[in-house]
Structure formats: structure tokens, C-alpha cells
Amino acid sequence: MRHRGRIFSCRLTRDGPGDTLDHGAPVFPYWSFTKTAIAICALKLAEQGKIDLNAALPGHGFTLVQLLNHTSGLPDYRTLPEYRQAVADDEKPWPRHRLVHAAMGQGMLFAPGTGWFYSNIGYMLARDLIEDVAQTSFSDLFRRFVGDELGLQSVRLATTREEFSQVLWEAAKSYDPGWVGHGCLIGTAHDAARILRGLFSGRLLSDEMLGRMMSRHPLGGAIEGRPWTECGYALGLMSGAFGNLGMAIEHSGGGPFCVNAVYHFPDLSEPVTVACFTDGDDEGAAEFAALGCAAGE
């Protein structure tokens, strides 16, 4: 697969350098890689005994685990033509209640735990829940549980057009991150890779909680136009196999004008973590870049 856009990559080995500052490096939207951060914060609260991953949410039949692995049965707002058109027309982001009401107008897709469907609404509710339990913002939780622990310098939650305009892509200057229902972290490729490496090196969660995070719902085999040969979804983690590199764990993401793939490859003789960012709307392009980067190409 050939991609003619600009590709920005970072490759970290388990024992390689990772704590140096990268002042002046380009900043990118993390898009759905933010889901991994939300899941880490939720699991950290569970580790501290402040939240029950398997308790049904008040007024709902689904659990936090089912929100985090997309088995809640909730629909998604991205399937709505009016949502996609509003984003394309650069309208002001819908208030949260309108976004939820419009998405939920599609109805529940299946009984909780009996199917799988990728739902941004589910991660909006998961973020709401952890903020309510902790009585603080997701931005603060991320800083406490991830940013401070790893010494990240570039990563922050973008909430305004002005903040989002700091990312590399020119198209970002006319995009409002309010359209990303669960929020959108921005940061460098280096810091994206460090988040994932920190997770799998045991710096963010206990072994028991990391094991729970990696418990996945199987989704099948190869995906056309993408490097997956076997895939599933865990708690905020895409998980499966990439070609001949064995297991690949993490998350791809994409928005109207750029995509990313942040992945950990534990089966290599020397485990590798990579973060790749490129323009366009094809997540497969970023994933193939991640595959090549992990292979040292």
C-alpha cells in the first residue's frame, strides 16, 4: 500500500530513550487514541476502589466495562448524515444534550453484552462517569494518572479552535474539537508513543488492572485495506495481529483531515512501540506506516 502524504513517526524500544523533551516538535490530534486515555483513567479509579467496572450504571442496563469495550449496545453519532454535514459545514458544535439525543434517536442496537458496535457516545458516557466519581475533569485525571507519571510535556485536552489550531495540519485551523464528543487530546508523536510504552511497562496500572484492560472481545480476521490479519477490541485498546509481526495492541484514530496509529508490538524479539501520523482520512495508511516503522523499514 502506497501513501503519498507526509508521515510523521516515532519508534521506541522497551529500553530505548523516551524521556527527552521534544520542544518544537509538531503537535497532532490524537483523535480516538483519547479513548485509551479515558480507559486508563477509569481503570486507575477502579484500582483505587473508587469505581466498579462491572456495576450497571444507574438508569441503564450496561456497565462501564461494556462502554469501554463497545459492547453496551449504544449507537453512534457518526452514523448520522446531519452530524457529518454539520461538521463539513464548519458549524458550531452541537451541545452535548443534542448530540446524545440525536444519536439515541436511533435506539439501542442490541442488549448490553450481546454484540459489538463502535460507539463514541459510549465513551462520552464513560468520561462523564469518571468525572462524576472523581469530582474533577478528565483533563485533570489525565494529568494526574498519566501526564505527571510519565513527565509528558506536550499532551493536553484541546477544547477550543484556538487550542486546536496549534496542531500541524492547516485544516485544523478551521476545526472545532467540540465535535469530538469524548474530547480530543493533542500532542507530539513522541509523547503518544510514551503513553503506550508507559502503559505496557507497568508505570500506569497494576499488573492485575492491565490484564483486565487487555481482556478483549474478538471481532474476526483480516480487514480489507488495512494490515490487520486478526482483530478484537479490549478496554480502550484495539488488539489483534499485524501481518508477520505478531500481536499489535493499541488504537488508530482519524478525523476529517488526518489519521494516526499508535501501537505496541510485544511479540518482537525486542518489543517496539510506534506512533504514526499522516494526512487524509484513511486509517489504514497510518496503520501500514506503523507496521513498517515497527519492522524498522
Please report whether residue 2 resides in a domain.
no
Please report whether residue 259 resides in a domain.
yes
Half-sphere exposure of 22 (CA within 13 A, CB side): 19
Q: Give the count of domains, the chain.
A: 1
Sign, CA dihedral 221-222-227-232, equals negative
Please report whether residue 1 resides in a domain.
no
Residue holding cell 500481536?
A: 247
* Whether the Cβ atoms of residue 188 and residue 27 lie closer than 8 Å to each other: yes
Please report whether residue 209 resides in a domain.
yes
C-alpha cell at 217: 472481545
Please report whether residue 221 resides in a domain.
yes
CATH number at residue 269: 3.40.710.10
* Whether the Cβ atoms of residue 255 and residue 276 lie closer than 8 Å to each other: no
Task: List beta partners, residue 231.
Answer: 220, 240
* Residue span of the structural domain in which 80 resides: 7-295
* CA separation for the pair 17, 194 (Å, rounded): 10
pLDDT tens string, the chain, 297 residues long: the values are 456 678 999 999 964 444 444 667 999 999 999 999 999 999 999 999 999 999 999 889 999 999 999 999 999 999 999 999 999 999 999 999 999 999 999 999 999 999 999 999 999 999 999 999 999 999 999 999 999 999 999 999 999 999 999 999 999 988 999 999 999 999 999 999 999 999 999 999 999 999 999 999 999 999 999 999 999 999 999 999 998 899 999 899 999 999 999 999 999 999 999 999 999 999 999 999 999 999 988
